[in-house]
Structure 1
Amino acid sequence: MKILNTPYYGIYFGEDSYIKKKNFFLKNFSKKILLVDNISKKNCLNYFLSKIDFLKKYYIINIPSGEEKKNIETCKVIWKKLLDINADRKSLFFNLGGGVITDLGGFACSVFKRGLNFINIPTTLLGMIDASIGGKTAINFLSLKNEIGLFNFPKGVIIDNNFLKTLSENDLKSGFAEIMKYGLISDINLWKKIKNLILKKKKLIYSYNLIINAIKIKNSIIEKDPLEKGLRKILNFGHTIGHAIESYFIYNLNKKISHGHSIAIGMICESWISYKMKMITKKEFEEINMIISLLYDNIKIYNSHISKIIDFMKHDKKNENNKIKFSLLKKIGYSIFNKEVDLFLIKKSFQKTNMINLI
């Protein structure tokens, strides 16, 4: 078992993590509760239960799958079931699933009786390298992504790459966008490695070492700024536009688009903005645009709807004094935050990515 210790919790790698944490799971907790959604219940629960068969009694809470279910109504369902089983503050909660489960479960635990202990067991690539790491918990509210939430660190995170075998190509692509982001904002060597792999294979390639590398990058940033007062904001590169596109598809078009697909588009748009604001070069932007576009399908957006997408950006959590604030690239491998961007450039960026067909 490989362990990455943080000031707040441990990140445990490998399927032997369960037995290594056996004593921790068994002691000092009054009840054990497993939170799953329809997908993780079907694909991951039996495997997980086989690894924690030393737990003789536990409760399972099953909720519907989907980003649109990450809301207060689903929290009410969870809280009601916690009351039904008389869960107390000495209970231990296992969030078994992707980013929706770790975000939602972490939030539900954090406010129930002012806080239950919880452990994240991410079952998607996105969950492993992003959502389950860093202590952010949140739900969506009034079609705004992650609008209600708080920082609360888990008691631990278990990264078991056996869960990746259950994922589709699109699920893997969704997580891979965040790995590319880490290279662009913080590690030019990681970006070069990704670029070379994609150019040679022209398809998604991931490895356990790549996952560990990505987690280490994110963790190193969070250790310097755990509550996102400054530096941690660079992790939002691609997310100002990306989150707005994701919300627009789900709540305006009633269509599904993966988080990673949205962030991939956002990274290209925000890279173009970085270029026009004289930070990265035209060559760097063209490289980013080309590499990311090789992995993801184009989407169609109505030109007349760009203003609706920008309306979502106006509620972004990084904003200050009613100004949309961006995290942008200074160069590949280095980023800056709290950059105000002219509205004209934001609108124009939608025309500059290979991934958007404006109609």
Structure 2
Amino acid sequence: MQQVIITHKIADELTKALVSGNYDKVFTFTDKNTRLHCLPIINSCEATRNAYHITIDASDTNKTLESAVHVWRELSDNGCTRHSCMVNVGGGMVTDLGGFAASCFKRGIDFINVPTTLLAMVDASVGGKTGINFNGLKNEIGVFKDANTVFIDTIFLKTLDHQNILSGYAEMLKHSLISDDKIWARHLLFDFDKLDLKELSLMIADSIELKRRIVTEDPHENGIRKALNLGHTIGHALESLAMQKGKPLLHGYAIAYGLVGELFLSCALLNFPTTKMRQTTRFVLDNYGRPEFSCKDYDKLFSLMLHDKKNTGDMINFTLLSDVGEVRINQTASKELVFEALDFLRES
């Protein structure tokens, strides 16, 4: 299991990790935004200041096989060996793609994740999932591989805009729904207009600990780890549809909308309390607005759900709730009921 270190001294901690690894070469991997805004924060660490830098364009549309090939070529051309290390500095796109590229190169080199977005801190950098988008589908190709270490430093949150804070917070909201009523209620009260980074740091720690407990129990998603997929079946379909339309949707926004749709299914199939579903729906719509899709997109969305990796056979598997904290994995729903959930999401 990878080590997750929450720190306010990222350069010092990263130096210790790289020195103790006794690597022959160090590579850093960023997108253009994090190279500009985040790499300078860790470059007071001599081991990264003198590293070879690999950079790709920003946004999830670049989490592709072509980008992975670019990383492999840069590693190969610049003398990377099995005793080298790559430090991924960025959001989920960077940690996913960087982890995937490192896991495959020379059958696997060490990598360290330094997540710089709220979403990556609580989700993408923890849990050992790596991957790239392929054939119009989210995370279609990838491997389970832990980073050697994940360093969490909230100093990077100061570089984020309001939308990216919200994007990460959607995963924290999901964690609260699979936790308990107290944590869920606390998340519904968070004020984004008066951003309290100290309060947010405590909530980040809680989210990471929840995910670590689940991943430790089920590292390869054979059972309880599927709890973390709440909101993701509908959410990933919405995200893939937006990508295909050339109007990319931030991952967290897609998951927030997916939570609404899947709580609707939870009410219909498992008697999830309607009041709690409507409270969560109101929070999502107030903060994330409404998703942009129409009834003409329903068949395409359903087709995208059929491609979800969690499915068995020709059945769509949902993670649903009978109440806050009461997870029910491997749930199925008829096409008609899924369409009703999309109606609810679109018309609430």
Q: For this structure pair, what is the TM-score category when the shorter chain's length is used for normalisation?
A: over 0.9
Q: Give the alignment of 1:208-223 within 5 angstroms.
A: 208-223=201-216
What is the distance in 2 between the residues matched to 1:196 and 1:108?
39
Q: For the residues of structure 2 that align with 1:92 and 1:80, how far apart are their CA atoms?
A: 15
> In structure 2, what is the equivalent of residue 333 of structure 1?
325
Match among 236, 256, 265 for residue 257 of structure 2? 265
Decide whether the 8 Å contact of 1:203 with 1:295 is kept in 2. no
Matched, 1:42 2:36: yes
Please state how far the C-alpha of 1:153 moved relative to its aligned partner: 0.5
SS at match of 1:79: helix
Query: Which of 223, 239, 245 pairs up with 1:230?
Result: 223
1:279 matched to 2:271? The reply is yes
> How big is each residue's C-alpha offset from its partner over 1:93-137, in whole Å with a ceiling of 9 and x where there is no partner?
100000000000000000111001000000000000000000000
With over 3 angstroms needed to count, the CA separation of the structure-2 counterparts of 1:197 and 1:69, relative to structure 1, is closer
The one-letter code sitting in structure 1 at the alignment partner of 2:305 is M
Matches within 5 A, 1:278-297: 278-297=270-289
| 1:298 aligned counterpart, secondary structure | coil
Among candidates 58, 79, 86, match of residue 65 of structure 1: 58
Residue 313 of structure 1 aligns with an amino acid whose one-letter code is: M
TM-score normalised by structure 2 residue count: 0.95
**Which of 170, 173, 187 is matched with 1:180 structurally?**
173
Structure 1 residues 83 and 347 mapped into 2: Cα distance closer, same or farther (>3 Å)? same
Residue 17 of structure 1, CA deviation: 4.4
Point out the structure with the larger strand share. 1
Q: Which amino acid aligns with 2:42?
A: F
Question: Counterpart amino acid of 2:289?
Answer: D
Task: State how far apart, in whole Å, the 2-side matches of 1:339 and 1:179 are.
Answer: 22
Q: What residue is the counterpart of 1:3 in the other structure?
A: none
Cα–Cα, structure 1 residues 21 and 71, in superposed 2: closer, same or farther, change >3 Å?
Answer: closer
Q: Flag structure 2 segments of 5+ consecutive residues without an equivalent.
A: none
Q: CA RMSD in A?
A: 1.6
Which of the numbers 82, 93, 97 marks the counterpart of 1:104?
Answer: 97
- 1:318 corresponds in structure 2 to 310
Match of 1:31? Answer: 25
Q: In the superposition, relative to structure 1, how do residues 91 and 14 fare at CA in structure 2: closer, same or farther (>3 Å)?
A: same
Q: Report the number of matched residues.
A: 345
SS at match of 1:317: coil
Deviation at 1:301, TM superposition (A): 1.1
Work out the CA distance in 1 between the residues paired with 2:15 and 2:99: 21
List alignment gaps of at least 5 residues for structure 1: 1-7
Q: How far apart in 1 are the matches of 2:196 and 2:247? A: 27
Q: Which amino acid aligns with 1:140?
A: N
Offset at residue 239 of structure 1 (A): 0.3
Deviation of the 1:183 alpha carbon: 0.6
Quote the residue 1:159 is aligned against: 152
Given residue 299 of structure 2, which amino acid in structure 1 is its aligned partner?
Answer: S
Cα deviation digits, residues 19-77 of structure 1 (max 9, x gap): 24534312421110000001101111111212x12556310001111111111110110
Does the 8 Å CA contact 1:173/1:204 hold for their aligned counterparts? no
Verify: 1:191 aligned to 2:184, yes or no. yes
Q: Aligned equivalents of 1:175 and 1:110: distance in 2? A: 25
Does the 8 Å CA contact 2:30/2:54 hold for their aligned counterparts?
Answer: yes
Q: Name the CA distance, whole Å, in 1 between partners of 2:104 and 2:172.
A: 31
Matches of 2:190 and 2:141, distance apart in 1: 38
CA contact 1:120–1:156 (8 Å) conserved in 2: yes
Q: Which residue of 2 aligns with 1:248?
A: 241
Distance 1:66 1:21, change over 3 A: closer
Aligned residues with identical type, % of pairs: 35
Among candidates 3, 6, 10, match of residue 13 of structure 1:
6
